[in-house]
Amino acid sequence: MTTYQEFHRRSIEDRDGFWSEQAQLVHWNKQPEQICDYSRPPFVKWFKGGETNLFYNAVDRHAAERPDANALIYISTETNEEKVYSFAELQREVERMAAIYQELGVRKGDRVLIYMPMIAEAAFAMLACARIGAIHSVVFGGFAANSLATRIDDAKPVLMVSADAGMRNGKPVPYKHLLDEACKLAEFPPQKVLLVDRGLDKGFPRVEGRDVDYAELRAKHMDAKVPVAWVEATEPSYILYTSGTTGKPKGVQRDTGGYCVALAASMQHIFSGDAGETMFSTSDIGWVVGHSYIIYGPLIAGMATIMYEGTPLRPDAGIWWQIVEKYKVSVMFSAPTAVRVLKKQDPAWLKKYDLSSLKHLFLAGEPLDETSHKWIMDELGIPVIDNYWQTETGWPILAICRGVEQSPIKLGSPAFPVYGYDLRIYREDGTECGANEKGIVGIVPPLPPGNLSTVWGQDERFISTYFSLFKEPLVYSSSDWGIKDENGYHSILGRMDDVINVAGHRLGTREIEEAVQTHPAVAEVAVVGVADEVKGQMPMAFAVLKDASAADTPEKAAALEKEVMKRVDASLGAIARPSRVHFITGLPKTRSGKMLRRSIQALAEGRDAGDLTTIEDPSTLDQIKAALKG
């Protein structure tokens, strides 16, 4: 029997042989001519010359063999809707959506921007792109108009797909006015907007000549037959935007063939999900987990996938476990934040339902603390597997690959490098760290299949963002601090750049600072990520005012803080709202003018501010301490 160590070693030392075998897990219209083309580092092309289609692999082949098997299970505890689609029914719905796309002028290689709540039509919208070879770009539903506009201008979509509103905690979250505002702000707005009317936002405005109704067009195309577009393996399948340290988001560009193979292999080796079983990922399609493990991964594996609109606590703290029992979920994927939320509830909810179908729970999106890891594993009585990855990689970097070997779980550790990843921990001078020595998590290229192939439209940014920290040897920098123990178990210690992780959502502090500075009273601001018991991190803002008298009483300060928070909501959405906005008269900087963000963060978390010999004005730290007490 192959040990995991041998399996991993072969994936690095015999890259072509290893990935040639994994490629047999998917259907090829034309077999690849070259497995790995790494002739232009750091760019890599996987399965060059091959032709495949993500939708064919996710739906068509299963619809032919098991047409009546469950494919998509849509559940909304917000609107009390539940609908199960078989593989044959999902195939039909997606062909209808694909026919609508073609009527609206979408062609192979065109971009379709999807701004949707967690409803079945959002899955149809993504899968229809895959069927006809269009490139989807999903933006998290409810993102503010300004953020949406920047993504519109970067992707230049010919079509947007949206809905009148989403739902959260029983209240509608209108989307249409945000979409309309974004189209006004954008330089390259789409010619057509396809709208799903859920009846949640009565009388929302329609733009004549641009907005079209999904239900009307669907009725026209009930019997549509839309052929699969076979796509070059190296062609893009989608763009997914992720926060950067500059204000401009980065469009992570994913290929088609490499992504398909990576997901198929991960479902077997990491998630141990079998055809006919059910997978429940509690993420959102706006994030990478939603792409990989709600939409594509489970379906490629022939599993049913659950698409859930709701929270873990509504109607009660047992709702997720009720779903597990009803649909005999075998593989579940969530985030540490959700576990910390559930930990505050009565543990009896975890015992109320029959969870015997559940083989394991996977957690990712932010560092998992040992206490939460132990609690959920004890309560469920099943393996709870921490795993670590990024929007950029598309699938796990660190995990226990239980489909290969059932290695022991170490609490709070995402364990070992996944096959295909030549992962090392580096000192800042580029040399490798020893055991138990903190360093930067890096990957020696070529990056494995399924990872980003470039930044959309910006090859130079791909190199400068990910491959500029170390040149000799060339290394992909994750921008995360990590550590490896003497047994090879890894732990992630947080970001080394100015990106923070709020409940698994990556937010650039620079973007939040720019939003705060739109308030006319603010002269300068620093935003840092501060540890939070439930969400992992929360942004906290320290603002210098143009006129200190604007916040010289508690009442004025409270009113101004609310105004600033509203600015952030309007610019980025409520998800980016700082937990507090503190008003001070100066920010701590070095004599050369560099902001001492790590010192600010340390003080906000009640830690030692570190070496302050370079600080120009030590009194600024006293102000921060006073504000935090205050």
Beta-ladder partners of 615: 590
Question: Tell me, what's the pLDDT at 294?
Answer: 98
- What mean pLDDT comes out for the span 247-253? 85
Contact 280, 319 (CB under 8 A): no
pLDDT digits (tens, 9 = 90+) for 478-494: 998 899 999 999 998 77
- 245 pLDDT higher than 70: no
List the beta bridge partners of residue 432: 426
Cα–Cα distance, 200 to 309 (Å, whole number): 14
Q: What is the per-residue pLDDT for 614? A: 58
The CATH number for 86-229, chosen from 3.40.50.970, 3.30.2010.10, 3.40.50.980, 3.30.70.100, is 3.40.50.980
Task: For 176-192, write each residue's pLDDT tens digit.
Answer: 999 999 999 999 999 99
Q: What is the pLDDT of residue 410?
A: 96
Structure tokens at 7: 């399996």
Q: Are the CB atoms for 588 and 624 separated by under 8 Å?
A: yes
Q: Give the model's pLDDT for residue 524.
A: 82
Please, which pLDDT band fits residue 244 given cuts at 50, 70 and 90? low
Residue of 536, 474, 281 lying closest to 395 (CA atoms):
281
Give the residue with greater pLDDT, 35 vs 572: 35
Of residues 106, 108, 124, 107, the one with CA closest to residue 116: 124
pLDDT at 368 over 90: no
pLDDT grade, residue 73 (50/70/90)?
A: very high
Neighbours of 244 (CB within 10 A): 19
Q: The pTM is what?
A: 0.85
Structure confidence at residue 511 (pLDDT)? 75
Whether omega before 205 lies within 30 degrees of 0, making that bond cis, reads no
Given a cut of 70, whether residue 594 has pLDDT beyond it is: no
Q: In the predicted model, is pLDDT for residue 246 greater than 80?
A: no
Task: For the chain, give every residue range classified as CATH 3.30.300.30.
Answer: 502-629
Question: DSSP string of 42-104?
Answer: TEEEEEET-EE-HHIIIIIHHHHH-TTSEEEEEEETTTTEEEEEEHHHHHHHHHHHHHHHHHT
- Residue environment code for 589-604, b if the CB has 16+ CB neighbours within 10 A, otherwise e: beeeeebbbebbbbbb
Q: At CA 356, angle to CA 351 and CA 361, rounded to 5?
A: 85
Least confident range of 18-32, 508-522, 574-588, 603-617: 603-617
pLDDT, average across residues 505-521 = 82
Which token pair is 618? 């030590």
| Higher pLDDT among residues 627 and 617, named by residue | 627
Percentages helix, strand, coil for the chain, rounded to the nearest 5? 35, 25, 40
Which of the two residues, 600 and 592, has the higher pLDDT score? Answer: 600
Q: What's the pLDDT at 470?
A: 82
Spatial CA neighbour of 540 closest among 531, 549, 552 = 531
DSSP at 444: P
Give the pLDDT score at 88: 98
Mean of per-residue pLDDT scores for the chain: 93
Residues whose CB is less than 8 angstroms from the CB of residue 619 and which lie 6 or more positions away in sequence, other chains included: 586
Q: What integer is the mean pLDDT of 295-313?
A: 97
340-349, 531-540, 585-594: which has the minimum mean pLDDT?
585-594
Tell me which amino acid residue 539 is: P
Backbone angles phi, psi at 248, to 5 degrees: -85, 125
* Residue 508: pLDDT band with limits 50, 70, 90: confident
Confidence (pLDDT) at 367: 78
> Which of 9, 448, 39 lies closest to 257 in space, CA to CA?
448
Closest alpha carbon to 68 in 45, 88, 50: 88
**Largest distance between two CA atoms of the chain:** 73
Q: State yes or no: pLDDT of 252 exceeds 70.
A: yes
Q: What is the pLDDT of residues 119-176, one digit of tens each?
A: 999 999 999 999 999 999 999 987 889 889 999 999 999 999 999 999 988 999 999 9
Tell me the per-residue pLDDT of 383-442, one tens digit each, with 9 for 90 and over. 999 999 999 999 999 999 999 999 999 998 999 999 999 999 999 889 999 999 989 999
The DSSP bridge pattern shows strands 250-255 and 304-309 to be unpaired
Distance, CA of 435 to chain centre: 30
Beta strands in 133-266 (DSSP E): 135-138, 159-163, 165-168, 171-174, 192-196, 211-213, 231-232, 236-242, 250-255
Pairing of β 211-213 and β 192-196: parallel
Mean pLDDT of all residues in 590-600 = 70
Please report which confidence band the pLDDT of residue 588 belongs to, taking 50, 70 and 90 as the band edges: confident
Tell me which architecture the domain covering 502-629 has in CATH.
2-Layer Sandwich (3.30)
Using one digit for the tens of pLDDT, what is the confidence trace for 18-57? 999 999 999 999 999 999 999 999 999 999 999 999 999 9
Helices (H), 318-436: 319-327, 336-343, 370-380
Given a cut of 90, whether residue 307 has pLDDT beyond it is yes
How many Å apart are CA 332 and CA 308, to the nearest integer? Answer: 12
pLDDT of residue 512: 87
Decide if 53 contacts 227 (C-beta within 8 A): no
In the chain, ranges of CATH 3.40.50.980 domains: 86-229
pLDDT grade for 257, boundaries at 50, 70 and 90: very high
Cα dist. 273→90, 276, 277, 403 in Å? 20, 9, 7, 9
Q: At what angle do helices 336-343 and 370-380 cross, to 10 degrees?
A: 70
| Side-chain half-sphere exposure of 371, counting CA atoms within 13 A | 6
List the end-to-end C-alpha distance of the chain, in Å, as a whole number. Answer: 62
User: What's the confidence (pLDDT) of residue 496?
Assistant: 73
CA distances in angstroms from 14 to 11, 23, 487, 622, 630, listed in the order given: 6, 14, 24, 57, 60
